[in-house]
């Protein structure tokens, strides 16, 4: 489990309507929808929508404490993930258990390199694929996006459009990486 004192504080501002129908700031403060059971990451869900309530500004709260990797069917989830440096958790992390805790699975078994590839490819544990289009913005730090073929270093300010492909994350720096994600469900109904 992560040390909560290492969690970067996030401020969430949510708009809505007052009793007279005027636009107001309905919420301004921290966010309590946090999953910090893995040494590799801390997930904070900021807002989510379902296919039938995307623009319901009267809704008081959209998130739940039951954090799932996937957004609701036909919906979206906006979250921030704080990735710990690899050196802080390597050898202490059960990727399969971590992904199971968010209702998903890894593709690690099928991603293990062959004997010829061993030593050439440093695929992180936790490679996964979702039926989502993800918009990601690196807020601070840096993180490697690892694909089946190749990898790319993303730094603060970089933007990623992740289109339902198999991928993983590797923070090879000495500091946490903070990445904001908007996941849009693309599953076939």
Are 128 and 168 contacting, i.e. CB atoms less than 8 angstroms apart? yes
109 in helix, strand or coil?
A: helix
Q: How confident is the model at residue 114 (pLDDT cuts 50, 70, 90)?
A: very low
Whether the per-residue pLDDT at 3 is higher than 60: the answer is no
Q: What is the pLDDT of residue 91?
A: 76
Q: Which residue has the tokens 């910090």?
A: 36
Q: What is the pLDDT of residue 50?
A: 83
Print the domain residue range for 145.
Answer: 4-185
Question: How many structural domains comprise the chain?
Answer: 1
Lowest mean pLDDT, pick from 52-56, 135-139, 173-177: 52-56
When pLDDT is averaged across residues 127-137 and rounded to a whole number, the result is 91
Structure tokens given for 75 = 């919906």
**Percent over 70 (pLDDT), the chain:** 76
Q: Which residue has the tokens 């036909």?
A: 74
pLDDT digits (tens, 9 = 90+) for 141-152: 999 999 989 999
β-strand partners of 132? 185
Whether the per-residue pLDDT at 132 is higher than 70: the answer is yes
> Where is mean pLDDT largest: 84-88, 103-107, 165-169, 177-181?
177-181
64 in helix, strand or coil?
A: coil
Neighbours of 28 (CB within 10 A): 10
Classify each residue of 60-89 as buried b or exposed e, where b means 16 or more C-beta atoms within 10 Å of its C-beta: eebbeeebbbbbbeebbbbbbbbbbbbebb
Alpha helices in the chain (DSSP H): 86-89, 95-100, 108-111
pLDDT digits (tens, 9 = 90+) for 9-30: 999 999 989 899 999 999 999 9
CATH number, domain containing residue 32: 2.60.120.10
When pLDDT is averaged across residues 97-118 and rounded to a whole number, the result is 55
Say how far apart CA 123 and CA 144 lie, in whole Å.
10
Lowest mean pLDDT, pick from 23-37, 88-102, 138-152, 172-186: 88-102
Q: Which residues contact 44 (CB under 8 A, 6 or more apart)?
A: 10, 31, 33, 34, 35, 79, 80, 81, 82
Q: 0.85 cut: is pTM over it? A: no
Q: What is the pLDDT of residue 118?
A: 46
Nearest to 49 by CA among 79, 81, 12: 79
How crowded is the C-beta side of 27, counted as CA atoms within 13 Å?
16
């Amino acid at each position: 489990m992560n040390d909560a004192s290492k969690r970067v504080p996030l401020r969430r501002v949510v708009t809505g309507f007052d009793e007279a129908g005027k636009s107001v700031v309905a919420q301004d403060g921290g966010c309590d929808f946090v999953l910090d059971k893995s040494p590799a990451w801390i997930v904070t869900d900021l807002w989510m929508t379902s296919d039938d309530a995307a623009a319901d500004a009267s809704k008081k709260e959209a998130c739940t404490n039951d954090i799932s990797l996937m957004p609701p069917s036909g919906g979206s989830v906006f979250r921030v993930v704080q990735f710990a440096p690899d050196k802080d958790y390597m050898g202490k992390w059960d990727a399969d258990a971590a992904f199971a805790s968010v209702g998903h699975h890894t593709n690690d078994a099928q991603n293990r390199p062959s004997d010829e590839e061993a030593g050439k490819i440093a695929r992180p544990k936790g490679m996964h694929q979702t039926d989502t289009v993800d918009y990601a913005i690196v807020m601070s730090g840096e993180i490697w996006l690892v694909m089946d073929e190749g990898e790319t270093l993303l730094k603060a300010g970089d933007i990623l459009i992740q289109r339902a492909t198999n991928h993983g994350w590797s923070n090879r720096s000495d500091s946490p990486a903070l990445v904001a994600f908007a996941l849009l469900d693309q599953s076939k109904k």
